[in-house]
Amino acid sequence: MFILDEMEQFQCEQLVFCQDPSSGLRAIIAIHNTKLGPALGGCRMWKYATEEQAVTDALRLAKGMTYKAAVSGLPFGGGKAVIIGNPNTDKTMAKFRSLGQFVQKLQGRYITGIDLGTTVQDMDWVNIESEYVTDITGSLGAFGEFTAEMTAYGVFLGIKASVGKVYGSELLKGKTIAVQGLGKVGYFLCRYLHEAGVQLVVSDINADRVKKVLNAFGARPAAVDDIFGEACDIFAPCALGGILNDQTIPQLKCKIVAGGANNQLAEDRHGEALHSSGILYAPDYVINAGGLITTAVDLGGFDAPYAKRRVERIYPTINSVFQLSETLSICTAAAADRMAEQVLAKA
Ligand code: NAD
């Protein structure tokens, strides 16, 4: 792997390799872009098969954070840390303190937090060594519940904007929405949609989560592989990335794709594939920015009600993306990228 070429491809400012024999830490911090402010983005712990995979993941995720912060009007850049290791068996306080020392040495160029495989406890350990960490005990992001609720709230508002665009009215009552993934974000989203009178069709690989949503919101279950082909108005992916691809797009029977999952498009060209199939796609990093907005609000010292008000700006932002897509005759995914790149170019 040619690291500098790879960085250039992702337009990444700086890559920091961290290894500490005394704690066993092996980590990579990607600082993608700091034009708008310090690079903000969580720390993922994952059992990467190779170092190349860890580098690519850090670069890809950090770039996504830059674009998400830029379209959301936040004074932050994008960054991400990845720790190579099994989050279930390889975690120690020493590793996270060691990461904290590396983060501290960056003097605020990068601010870390929770991501896949890391918890509030881990961030509390980072915080022993560094002030540049969010999602610690007592913060708005602690335990992820409020952050996930705000992510779901932003997705809910983005769905309303999308429905308004496609159907000419934002009324959700009577619409059918298929939700894939009923974890933190999916559950809160189902709650908002149920309150708005939506008929829910849901799937999750975890049967207990499906049962919880069926009981609470009168949803109908779908098999994990069948959710894509469900007849519905909106498909809301809230589980894994890469689920909009050559196999799944031809199955879709919806008019809108709008959900909370990150990196929904397997490749950029799938944004175009949705567009040419006549399906309105609400770009993932625009509609799911509620969590990042909450973290940014917390870092600014503001409270939860302010975070909620700030998340409400996702609604006009999504409408601006749709408008730009129409004006330039490009797909919505490309329009969101243009918007982010315009903000960065002006900075
Ligand atoms: P979570 O781990 O709480 O929930 C994910 C759920 O998806 C789990 O219930 C899991 O069983 C289910 N799942 C996994 N594979 C599935 C499959 N093939 N079919 C159906 N269900 C499947 O995670 P979360 O915090 O709810 O995040 C969900 C998505 O939203 C992720 O892509 C995440 O990156 C993204 N996201 C989350 C936040 C946040 O604030 N939590 C913010 C932005 C984006």
Q: Which residues pair with 43 in a beta bridge?
A: 81, 114
Give CA–CA dist 255/265, Å, rounded: 16
Cα–Cα separations (whole angstroms), residue 11 to 127, 173, 195: 29, 44, 43
Give CA–CA dist 38/34, Å, rounded: 5
Does an H or E element contain 121, and which? helix 120-129
- Cβ 224 under 6 angstroms from ligand 1: yes
Catalytic residue among 63, 68, 80, 308: 80
Q: Residue 283's pLDDT is what?
A: 98
Q: Residue 1's pLDDT is what?
A: 82
The widest CA-to-CA distance across the chain, in whole angstroms, is 61
Mode of pairing for the β-strands spanning 39-40 and 220-221: unpaired
Q: Is 346 one of the annotated active-site residues of the chain?
A: no
Q: Residue 144's pLDDT is what?
A: 78
Contact 204, 239 (CB under 8 A): yes
Q: Provide CATH code, domain 3-63+76-134.
A: 3.40.50.10860
Contact 28, 17 (CB under 8 A): yes
Q: Residue 127's pLDDT is what?
A: 98
Give CA–CA dist 322/84, Å, rounded: 39
Mutate to test the pocket of ligand 1, among 119, 240, 286 (most ligand atoms within 8 A of CB): 240
Does an H or E element contain 83, and which? strand 77-84
Architecture of domain 146-346: 3-Layer(aba) Sandwich (3.40)
**pLDDT in tens for each of the 347 residues of the chain?**
899 999 999 999 999 999 999 999 999 999 999 999 999 999 999 999 999 999 999 999 999 999 999 999 999 999 999 999 999 999 999 999 999 999 999 999 999 999 989 999 999 999 999 999 999 999 998 877 899 999 999 999 999 999 999 999 999 999 999 999 999 999 999 999 999 999 999 999 999 999 999 999 999 999 999 999 999 999 999 998 899 999 999 999 999 999 999 999 999 999 999 999 999 999 999 999 999 999 999 999 999 999 999 999 999 999 999 999 999 999 999 999 999 999 999 99
Positions of CATH 3.40.50.720 in the chain: 146-346
182 has binding-site annotation: yes
Give CA–CA dist 279/11, Å, rounded: 30
- Residue 312 φ then ψ, to 5°: -65, -15
Alpha carbon 69 to its chain centroid, in Å, reads 11
The pTM (predicted TM-score) of the whole model is 0.94
Positions of CATH 3.40.50.10860 in the chain: 3-63+76-134
Q: Residue 108's pLDDT is what?
A: 98
185 has binding-site annotation: yes
With H, G, I as helix, E, B as strand and everything else as coil, classify residue 25: strand
Protein residue with least CA distance to atom 20, ligand 1: 204
- Cβ 209 under 6 angstroms from ligand 1: yes
